[in-house]
Amino acid sequence: MLIEENISLLPYNSFHIEARAKHFVSIADADQLGSILEKDDGKSQLVLGGGSNILFTRDVKGLVLKMDIRGITMVKENDSHIFVRAGAGENWHSFVRYAIGRNWAGLENLSLIPGSVGAAPIQNIGAYGVELKDVFYELEAYDRKNKKVYTFGLNDCAFGYRDSFFKSGEKNRYIILNVTFILNKTAVLNTSYGAIREELGQMDVRTPSIRSVSQAVINIRQSKLPDPAEIGNAGSFFKNPVVDQARFQSLSKDYPDMPAYPHEEGSVKLAAGWLIEQCGWKGYRKGDAGVHQRQALVLVNYGHATGKEIFDLGEEVAASVKKRFAVGLEREVNVW
Ligand code: EPU
């Protein structure tokens, strides 16, 4: 286990921001964590998964732990379900492909999401009508405080919209080591999302399968979202804002075409991308920082933007949405 010094984090973040780590270590085995963590002060540590949901605005003056724990194992099965465990460092989409290749259903709507398996529960990743919590069984995490490994079941994780116990409850206390998923042997496909139905129609698919739904999701994502390998980005920069009924009613009087989706307890989720587009930001570019041309919820780095430039653009975007719609936008991306 090698601790490297003064490492560039550019290859480790999908925004392609230049930032440096004073110390950097790749963790391939949970047993390595205890000895590594004893040596550092904790405050300046950063745990990095796929680096697809982080914006660096400064260097890391301490230690970056890159989670590289690998391995996919079927832990048990019954008549209807497969329980499969994946190491935190597995690439998310490779894991999805692994399951689809075996005809295990449940992950297909979550195809092509950048990032790692270990980061997925932290923000309860979601797309096209499915969230991680729908296929989650349990996870193992290292507790930095008690220096032990604990198992968390579904009810321990407090999953919400792009939220979990690991994001808002005990942020930074636990390091996720592996995640076990419960997948279906018989496909129960979720094609309720309009865009999936339309895409399946375009693909001329009459009887959808795990594979065709995955392909439809891949096609939609590729048509709308910039590929981080080509243009730096971290997917949605903001969460979709949730407002109460009264606020929604008053907004929809002024903007009858505004997209809106029912949320928990009578609240309503608005489409941040729509709000941002209405404020005229779609396709905006200042230097190398920009708002994506096909999806205004995604901020992009066209080349050499700094984290600060992207951050400031995000602040300007949020301020203009606040001014026009009196709706606050909360960042989805983590800022370091
Ligand atoms: N819209 C616009 N203009 C835009 C972008 C969107 O008018 O520039 C409208 C669309 O026409 C649609 C609505 O806003 O009526 C919603 O757009 P879309 O279906 O593209 O999804 P989203 O709400 O912008 C969310 C997730 C995505 C996920 C998609 C599909 C969040 C923050 N984002 O985006 O997740 O892929 O739904 O389920 O919830 C991510 O988290 O990084 C991410 C990409």
**Per-residue pLDDT in tens (0 to 9) along the chain, 336 residues:** 789 999 999 999 999 999 999 999 999 998 888 888 876 566 678 999 999 999 999 999 999 999 999 999 999 999 999 999 999 999 999 999 999 999 999 999 999 999 999 999 999 999 999 999 999 999 999 998 888 999 999 999 999 999 999 998 888 899 999 999 999 999 999 998 889 999 999 999 999 999 999 999 999 999 999 999 999 999 999 999 999 999 999 999 999 999 999 998 889 999 999 999 999 999 999 999 999 999 999 999 999 999 999 999 999 999 999 999 999 999 999 999
Domains 72-184 and 232-335 are alike in CATH topology: no
- Give me the phi and psi of 6, to 5 degrees please: 50, 65
- Position of tokens 């301490």? 62
* 46 Cα to the center of ligand 1, angstroms: 28
Q: Is 20 a catalytic residue?
A: no
> How would DSSP label each residue in 188-209?
-----SHHHHHHHHHTT-SS--
Classify strands 20-27 and 3-8 as parallel, antiparallel or unpaired. Answer: antiparallel
Please give the number of the atom of ligand 1 that sits closest to the Cα of 282: 8
Q: Which two tokens stand for residue 232?
A: 């730096």
Determine the distance separating the centroid of ligand 1 and the alpha carbon of 220, expressed in angstroms.
11
Which residue's CA is the nearest one to ligand 1's atom 11?
274
Q: Give the residue, by CA position, lying nearest to ligand 1 atom 16.
A: 271
Judge if the beta carbon of residue 282 lies within 6 A of ligand 1. Answer: yes
Domain spans of the chain, in order of start: 4-67, 72-184, 232-335
**How far apart are the CA of 296 and the centre of ligand 1, in A?**
9
5 has catalytic annotation: no
Q: What is the pLDDT of residue 40?
A: 59
277 carries an active-site annotation: no
pLDDT tens, 14-67?
Answer: 999 999 999 999 999 988 888 888 765 666 789 999 999 999 999 999 999 999
How far, in Å, is the centroid of ligand 1 from the Cα of 126? 11
Q: How far is CA 165 from CA 113, 117, 152, 169, 299, in A?
A: 21, 16, 10, 4, 27
Long-range contacts, 265-272 (Cβ 8 Å, 24+): 267/242, 267/243, 268/242, 268/243, 268/244, 269/161, 269/240, 269/241, 269/242, 270/240, 270/241, 270/242, 270/243, 270/327, 271/240, 271/297, 272/236, 272/238, 272/239, 272/240, 272/241, 272/297, 272/321, 272/329
Q: Using a 6 Å cutoff on CB, does residue 14 contact ligand 1?
A: no
- Name the helix (H) or strand (E) containing 329: none
Annotated catalytic residue, options 108, 131, 138, 332: 332
Specify whether the CB–CB gap between 1 and 32 falls below 8 A: yes
Query: What is 4-67's CATH topology?
Result: 3.30.43
Cα–ligand 1 centroid distance for 223 (angstroms): 12
Residue count (the chain)? 336
Ligand 1 in contact with 259 (CB < 6 A)? Answer: yes
**Spatial separation of the C-alpha atoms in residues 23 and 60, rounded to whole Å:** 8
Q: What fold is seen in the domain 232-335?
A: 3.90.78
Amino acid at 246: A
- 274 CB less than 6 Å from ligand 1? yes
Question: Ligand 1: does its nearest atom lie under 6 Å from the Cβ of 119?
Answer: no
Ligand 1: nearest atom to the Cα of 240: 32
Domain at 72-184, CATH from 3.60.15.10, 3.30.360.10, 3.30.465.10, 3.20.20.70? 3.30.465.10
DSSP at 331: B
* Catalytic residue chosen out of the listed positions 140, 144, 236, 309: 236
| pLDDT one-digit tens code per residue, 252-273 | 999 999 999 999 888 999 999 9
For ligand 1, atom 28, the nearest C-alpha belongs to 127
